[in-house]
Amino acid sequence: MSNLNKLDFIALEVFGRNYPKWVQDMKLHLTVKSLRATIKEPTDDLVDEAQKANAMIFIRRHIHDALQTEYLAKKDPHTLWIALADHFDHQKNIYLPEARYDWQHLCFQDFKSINEYNYEVCRIRSLLKFCEEDLTEEDLLDRPANF
């Protein structure tokens, strides 16, 4: 990627593998910059052109160069946000079976340390949350005895 500016977080990859994390990072940074309203559905909130331009610069700076070119015609941060969601939101359908499979086949003995095991549990759990499927405390406690 040819962006020479220091990024606040990792840019959205061209294939969108990091899309879930990118969305969360983008929402947080736009909130901090008081620009979150620029990506929401148009409401009574007054969003001026300077805020829209600032949000567009920020979003474009944090997407891969190929995506910048692909979405060059988008002039509004909300329409860009929707276009990116349409392009990458299908990943929930990809991540869900993968996360379920990983959860069902999670085996403590496959890890060298408790930290590695806990990291994997957190990774799978966050993928499931992204796919809008939460693990209950019962699910966590009733792990199969494949230690």
The string of DSSP letters for 81-106 reads HHHHHHHHTTHHHHHHHHHHHHHHT-
Q: What share of the chain is helix, strand, coil (3-state, %, to 5)?
A: 60, 0, 40
For the ranges 4-18, 86-100, 119-133, the lowest mean pLDDT is seen at 4-18
pTM equals 0.70
Q: pLDDT-derived band of residue 116, with 50, 70 and 90 as boundaries?
A: very high
Is residue 2 pLDDT above 80, yes or no?
A: no
Query: pLDDT value at position 120?
Result: 92
